[in-house]
Chains A and B, each alone.
Chain A
């Protein structure tokens, strides 16, 4: 059962250079109890997508399309209604644990404020019990309940942030680069906690990250974003073993991991979303680009391996004009144009 579903969602930012199409026609579903990984490079619109679900878009952003949560279309929700939703229904874990806690407030006060804002009927004793339970689940002992944020390390602060989100028992959790500022050892801890969460509560998790290793470790399904669009979406195992979109396979080859034997990179740099390339947005960097890729927007199809993919290599054949499959003639991308 899907907790959240997006249909043709668009979020554009108005700038002096014209609209920046950060999210440009995305359809996506997240099911109860599932972890969906959303991966992409910086500036591909993945954080914008996360923020649109929480109603946290900056002024100047225009949202269009459908974003269904529990029967309501979030794109039409007022800020007041969003306030009721944020926290008890949809929780958010931010990227930088170091700056998200108020340095002047004790940990206990953070919990008190959060719980009082959303569940005003709770007594002090209940607030205390709920908070300590949530902290205990993250391995923070009760002795530290009255301490201040600066007395904790980065990993502990991120665990406190997670506890602070979970204390309201949300149905959907959005984690925007939850481990990016942390070291590998702490990262492993946090990922384990997020994994346990899934087992114990029926919380759905949208994990936004640029790190494909993390996705491989903790997600069942993965959506790959490039320049405001989801170019491929499917079961994590399939996407990693048989990527359908050239961007996914090139990205997978580019990761420098302990298993890589040769270095590989994608020539060029991610596009400027105020002025994206015509038709397929990946064609200037794509090693398999064809004539049709510069002429017509790709149509979403199912690859033979089962994932949704936005690429002409997978058809549909009848839409490709005659001669469209000829390889794209172009001068080799000069080193100078590389990132």
Chain B
């Protein structure tokens, strides 16, 4: 399914910012700063495609997913769903739209109510939206169970009777109940065992074809994302650093962060591992409350240059068809004129005052 750039986007995110306030003081409750979880992110998701969103934990990828569903209110920016600006909609106006956008969660053990039968879990969205009466309801639940590959009588059982993979199928049936167009899948396979992850990925792909679904697939695992995505967006510290068609990203990563990330994924083959070179990044992820100025990656970038990196915010630029990168030096890296350097760990800025040389304990 290649819909790169074709047709109108189903979801457009424009200059999205989601800040979480940091408050201090009990009585005064002063606003002392913001966690800039998502800081000026723009991208489109086209109809029928799967956009993968990858990044380390804390980079803001889940926040983006939740903001699109309006589970968080955007601080700034616009979210357009099927041509309609939904950023400012009231909850009552959102309701009919919620039918069309659903979510699949990471933890199949925590996302299903243990006291509700599977039938009730799957039927609840239908009841809430008044879409099915009693008789129809159980018929529809059976249908849905069959669609996700569970026995139709599973409806009368409870979540604890199912394995992790089966529970993830129940979660999927629940999100399909309302016939959505768009599904945000937040790490849907990372809690599953290796031997069954592919089952769920295959199922997601089959359902996409059958029901004309559009996915935003959020994950930290680059290998998993590769197998399901048409295009991939890479996030670092609240911003998107690269968007590219999936294969292109793996063959030709251009942003230094993507390059490092890809080099760090272990490959289950000792022969390959012995030869593989990992680019180790210096230091740790900076705090999103106080991100580095200019290019946010410059504190850890192995390709850092003396000019621009520390003074100018890099914009997302188009390098080839559908491949955009936010790096001043992407052309040089692409041409192989820049090589990664070893870097000493830069002392990261501590949130609090740095302590002096510790006194003897």
**A251 adjacent to B151 (CB under 8 Å):** no
Docked Cα-Cα span, A156 to B283, in Å, equals: 9
Pick the contact of A258 from B164, B226, B270, B347 — CB < 8 Å?
A: B226
Residues of A within 8 A of B350 (CB): 144, 147, 151
**B281 adjacent to A185 (CB under 8 Å):** yes
Which A residues between 6 and 44 are near B, CB-CB below 8 angstroms?
41-42
**A257 adjacent to B194 (CB under 8 Å):** no
Pick the contact of A250 from B195, B226, B278 — CB < 8 Å?
A: B195
**B268 adjacent to A240 (CB under 8 Å):** yes
Q: Say yes or no: is A214 at the interface (Cβ < 8 Å to chain B).
A: yes
Pick the contact of A339 from B166, B220, B357 — CB < 8 Å?
A: B166
How many Å from the CB of A9 to the closest CB on chain B? 24
Residues of B within 8 A of A291 (CB): none
**B267 adjacent to A257 (CB under 8 Å):** yes
Residues of A within 8 A of B216 (CB): none
Contact with B along A176-198 (1 / 0, CB 8 A): 00000001111111011000000
Docked Cα-Cα span, A184 to B261, in Å, equals: 7
Docked Cα-Cα span, A252 to B226, in Å, equals: 18
Interface of B: prevailing SS: loop
Which A residues between 319 and 339 are near B, CB-CB below 8 angstroms?
335-336, 338-339
**B198 adjacent to A256 (CB under 8 Å):** yes
Q: Closest residue to A42 on the B side, CB-wise?
A: B193
Count A-B pairs with CB separation below 8 Å.
Answer: 173
Q: Chain B: interface residue count, which band?
A: 35 or more
How many Å from the CB of B149 to the closest CB on chain A? 4
Contact with B along A257-268 (1 / 0, CB 8 A): 111100111100
**B194 adjacent to A143 (CB under 8 Å):** no
Q: Say yes or no: is B354 at the interface (Cβ < 8 Å to chain A).
A: yes
Q: Say yes or no: is B223 at the interface (Cβ < 8 Å to chain A).
A: yes
Interface of A: prevailing SS: helix
Pick the contact of A216 from B56, B227, B266, B360 — CB < 8 Å?
A: B266
Q: Say yes or no: is B131 at the interface (Cβ < 8 Å to chain A).
A: no
Docked Cα-Cα span, A266 to B192, in Å, equals: 13
Pick the contact of A263 from B201, B262, B285, B354 — CB < 8 Å?
A: B201
Q: Say yes or no: is B40 at the interface (Cβ < 8 Å to chain A).
A: no
Which A residues between 296 and 339 are near B, CB-CB below 8 angstroms?
335-336, 338-339
Residues of A within 8 A of B265 (CB): 184, 213, 257-258
**A185 adjacent to B358 (CB under 8 Å):** no
Docked Cα-Cα span, A339 to B195, in Å, equals: 10
**A270 adjacent to B193 (CB under 8 Å):** yes
Docked Cα-Cα span, A236 to B268, in Å, equals: 10
**A112 adjacent to B361 (CB under 8 Å):** yes
Docked Cα-Cα span, A315 to B355, in Å, equals: 65
Pick the contact of B360 from A125, A270, A336 — CB < 8 Å?
A: A125
Q: Say yes or no: is B163 at the interface (Cβ < 8 Å to chain A).
A: yes
List, sorted by A's number, 18 A–B pairs whose CB atoms are closer than 8 Å. A41-B195, A153-B284, A155-B284, A184-B220, A184-B264, A185-B260, A188-B278, A189-B280, A213-B265, A241-B269, A254-B195, A254-B197, A260-B227, A264-B198, A265-B196, A265-B197, A265-B199, A336-B151
Enumerate chain B interface residues (CB-CB to A < 8 A). Answer: 56-57, 149-151, 163-166, 192-199, 201-202, 220-224, 226-227, 250, 260-262, 264-273, 278, 280-281, 284-285, 345, 347, 350-352, 354-361
Enumerate chain A interface residues (CB-CB to B < 8 A). Answer: 41-42, 108, 112, 124-125, 127-128, 139, 141-147, 151, 153-156, 183-189, 191-192, 210-217, 236-237, 240-241, 250-252, 254-260, 263-266, 269-270, 335-336, 338-339
* Contacts A240-B269, A258-B222, A338-B199 known; 20 new A-B pairs at CB < 8 A: A41-B194, A42-B164, A146-B355, A154-B57, A156-B284, A184-B264, A188-B278, A211-B194, A211-B266, A212-B268, A214-B266, A216-B273, A240-B271, A241-B271, A256-B201, A263-B198, A265-B197, A266-B195, A336-B151, A339-B192
